[in-house]
């Protein structure tokens, strides 16, 4: 039995719904085998509170607020096309519950919901059917009272002999199942090519398919450059099925379903996309990606005020900082084509770590000095006219603002200053580097540092130090063309130059 952490119940439903779909993708290889290929399980069990099962939360609220009865959960799932079985007394009717599970396994043309009515803390004489035990222990006295009420004479952690006997009867069955499973591994020897495809391993040299760019290459929005990378990878992935799932405007469900695909088989690499600001709607699913080690690739476009007239409701401000704070998550903000390709080179191989690519709506130039290899370090130097690892100032940028940092460097160099420009495309990868490498990029002896990013400055103090300056946006955006917004919020070359001069 495989056990996964997949989150709160509404999230769990979305994760497991996709597992049969993932299974069907792999079972297309079964005709090559003389024995069945078992790549999933036949039944998925989710346990939780009835009130947390609703896939349409606002609809449930209307019912809960007495506009309609919230108890009609079964009817709603029937309306969604599910097969529904109701067990009226889950407290004591064991046979009824077993029969429901048996019936559910016999229904193969649609998903099944088994609605089991139980009493929370059944058997507790003083706290049964009370919310007080939802997040707290019963306490020693109530535990003893419950044991007496249920007629349970055994000591804590004592397993009755009849339970041991019943459980031991399953051991031979389990051994036989294991032997049968091991026999199916002969499939790999008889059909090595198909077996390799079943493992979904990437072909050798796959990364060579990623596009590369020069400063003379046409500029483009990194969201479009991301599309170029994905199309290039699709050509070299064996057995690529070109399957797009039509999620609709359902970010939370989309993220959860991608978790299900990734957890079903590490060889299936799901990615999903939406506006970066709408990660607010699927943050729960994204957090579970990190917690459960699901290597989902989140392609997030319209990454700043650069999206323009859609205004502050669509302009992410705090989002980058919040995901940098999330454990086991890679937060990328590439500046051009090479950095976008570099991000994909890493994310495709990170099967236990989710990645987020924050991509621009506006067109960006292909910058001198950027590279696919540099992205692997998280932060790297794209230009430097100093000697001895002692520039007068270090300018640090990400995404669309790396160009601004590079332009500011040219202004300062004309005034006789030595300047290093650093792309900080992924903080998490930079933190993984050796102390020697980090010192080579951000020497501790150079305290004159300026960062620029069209987002919250939260967290940048760690990078620029106590003396450094951070240019960003610590308020909500506005509705206007992108160039006007950049000027209004001070995300401009002049601001970087002035900040640098204040440190000399």
Provide the annotated active-site residues: 251
CA neighbor of 149 nearest in space, from 120, 119, 128: 128
Strands 380-384 and 419-423, sheet pairing: antiparallel
How far is Cα 80 from Cα 253, in angstroms, rounded to an integer? 15
Helix, coil or strand: residue 375: helix
CA neighbor of 101 nearest in space, from 45, 23, 38: 45
Helix, coil or strand: residue 37: coil
- DSSP letter at 67? I
Q: What is the CA radius of gyration of the chain?
A: 28
The Cβ of residue 294 has, within 10 Å, a number of other Cβ atoms equal to 30
- DSSP letter at 390? -
Cα atoms in the Cβ-side hemisphere of radius 13 Å centred on 102:
6
Cβ 82 vs Cβ 55: under 8 Å: no
DSSP 78-120: HHTT-EEEEES-TTT-HHHHHHHHHHHHH--SS-EEEEE---T
CA neighbor of 375 nearest in space, from 397, 344, 403: 344
* 494 φ, ψ (degrees, to nearest 5): -60, -35
Cβ 121 vs Cβ 127: under 8 Å: yes
Longest CA span, the chain:
88
Residue 417, CA distances (Å) to 38, 412, 413 in order: 65, 6, 5
Angle CA(368)–CA(373)–CA(377) in degrees, nearest 5?
105
Cα atoms in the Cβ-side hemisphere of radius 13 Å centred on 474:
7
How far is Cα 260 from Cα 4, in angstroms, rounded to an integer? 10
How far is Cα 439 from Cα 481, in angstroms, rounded to an integer? 39
How far is Cα 81 from Cα 442, in angstroms, rounded to an integer? 58
């Amino acid at each position: 039995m495989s056990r996964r952490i997949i989150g709160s119940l509404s999230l769990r439903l979305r994760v497991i719904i996709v597992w049969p779909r993932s299974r069907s993708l792999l079972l297309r290889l079964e005709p090559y085998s003389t024995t069945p290929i078992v790549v999933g399980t036949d039944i998925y069990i989710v346990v939780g509170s009835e009130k947390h099962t609703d896939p349409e939360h606002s609809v449930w609220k209307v019912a809960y607020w007495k506009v309609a009865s919230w108890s009609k959960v079964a009817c709603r799932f029937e309306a969604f096309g599910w097969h529904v079985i109701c067990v009226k007394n889950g407290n004591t009717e064991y046979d009824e519950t077993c029969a429901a599970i048996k019936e559910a396994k016999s229904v193969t043309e649609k998903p099944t919901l088994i609605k089991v009515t139980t009493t929370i803390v059944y058997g507790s004489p003083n706290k049964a059917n009370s919310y007080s035990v939802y997040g707290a222990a019963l306490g020693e006295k109530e535990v003893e009272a419950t044991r007496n009420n249920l007629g349970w004479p055994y000591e804590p952690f004592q397993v009755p002999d009849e339970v041991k006997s019943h459980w031991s009867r399953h051991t031979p069955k389990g051994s036989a199942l294991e032997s049968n499973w091991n026999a199916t591994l002969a499939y790999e020897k008889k059909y090595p090519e198909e077996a390799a495809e079943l493992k979904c391993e990437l072909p050798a040299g796959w990364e060579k398919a990623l596009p590369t760019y020069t400063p003379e290459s046409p500029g483009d929005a990194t969201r479009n450059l991301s599309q170029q990378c994905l199309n290039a990878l699709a050509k070299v992935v064996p057995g690529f099925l070109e399957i797009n799932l039509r999620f609709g405007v359902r970010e939370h469900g989309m993220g959860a379903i991608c978790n299900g695909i990734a957890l079903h088989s590490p060889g299936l690499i799901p990615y999903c996309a939406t506006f970066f600001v709408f990660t607010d709607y699927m943050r729960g699913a994204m957090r579970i990606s990190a917690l459960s080690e699901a290597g989902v690739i989140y392609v997030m476009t319209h990454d700043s005020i650069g999206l323009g007239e859609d205004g502050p409701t669509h302009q992410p401000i705090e989002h980058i900082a919040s995901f940098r704070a999330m454990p086991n998550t890679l937060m990328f903000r590439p500046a051009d084509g090479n950095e976008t390709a570099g991000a994909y080179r890493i994310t495709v191989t990170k099967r236990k770590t989710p990645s987020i690519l924050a991509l621009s709506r506006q067109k960006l130039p292909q910058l001198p000095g950027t590279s696919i290899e540099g992205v692997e370090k998280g932060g790297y130097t794209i230009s430097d006219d100093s000697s001895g690892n002692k520039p007068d100032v270090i300018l640090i940028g990400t995404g669309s603002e790396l160009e601004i940092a590079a332009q500011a460097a040219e202004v300062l160099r004309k005034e006789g200053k030595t300047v290093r420009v650093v792309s900080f495309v992924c903080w998490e990868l930079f933190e993984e580097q050796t102390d020697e490498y980090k010192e080579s990029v951000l020497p501790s002896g150079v305290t004159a540092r300026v960062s620029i990013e069209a987002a919250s400055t939260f967290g940048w103090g760690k990078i620029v130090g106590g003396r450094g300056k951070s240019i960003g946006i610590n308020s909500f955006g506005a509705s206007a063309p992108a160039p006007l917004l950049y000027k209004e919020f001070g995300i401009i070359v002049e601001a970087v130059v002035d900040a640098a001069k204040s440190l000399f």
